[in-house]
């Protein structure tokens, strides 16, 4: 994942300490019901498309921008799939981040799926019964995006007992 400039500026004074950041992920379907995936350059694993909103950018705008930047596909957001705080991640450079992820179900409108930046090694459309190996969070997001079509309720992590 490319580091946005505003985070580089924060890191200049905060060092590698934990940053709690917004994130968006897009589960993009085409007209044939296939899902758009990218094989990430940083770890070589397949995943749904995601990124960090710029300051002032709305989550839907950020998701559409990330999909276009990374894959060359133009999409529209149909609904919020889930909102979830993810486990902290430590990157090879020592930076630690924890993301509040907003996952969105999207529909492809135009463009050919292709590697469109340096964040991906491969990009492609996959039938749901022929997905490559994916991390569990990506599989869960795809499952939630498929359930209930465009009218399904948003999924939230159940609250723990107090």
Alpha helices in the chain (DSSP H): 5-14, 59-71, 136-146
The pLDDT value given to residue 66 = 97
Euclidean distance between CA atoms 86 and 97, whole angstroms: 10
Q: Output phi, psi for 127, to 5 deg.
A: -65, 145
Euclidean distance between CA atoms 97 and 88, whole angstroms: 6
The pLDDT value given to residue 161 = 63
Report pLDDT digits (tens) over 28-45: 999 999 999 999 998 899
User: What is the average pLDDT score of the chain?
Assistant: 93
pLDDT < 70 stretches in the chain: 1, 149-150, 160-162
CATH 3.40.50.300 for domain 24-148, yes or no, is no
Question: Domain extents for the chain?
Answer: 24-148
Find the distance separating the first CA and the last CA of the chain, reported in whole Å.
36
What is the Rg, in whole angstroms, of the alpha carbon atoms belonging to the chain?
Answer: 16
- pTM for the whole structure: 0.91
């Amino acid at each position: 994942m490319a580091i946005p400039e505003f985070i580089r500026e924060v890191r200049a004074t905060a060092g590698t300490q934990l940053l709690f950041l917004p994130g968006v992920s897009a589960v993009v379907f085409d007209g044939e019901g296939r899902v758009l995936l990218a094989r990430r350059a940083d770890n070589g694993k397949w995943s749904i498309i995601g990124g960090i909103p710029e300051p002032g950018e709305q989550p839907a705008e950020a998701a559409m921008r990330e999909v276009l930047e990374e894959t060359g596909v133009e999409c529209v957001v149909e609904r919020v799939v889930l909102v979830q705080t993810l486990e902290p991640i430590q990157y090879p450079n020592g930076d630690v981040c924890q993301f509040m992820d907003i996952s969105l179900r999207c529909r492809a409108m135009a463009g050919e799926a292709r590697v469109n930046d340096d964040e991906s090694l491969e990009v492609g459309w996959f039938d749901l019964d022929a997905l490559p190996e994916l991390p569990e969070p990506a599989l869960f997001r795809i499952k939630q995006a498929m359930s209930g079509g465009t009218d399904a309720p948003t999924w939230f992590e159940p609250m723990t007992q107090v």
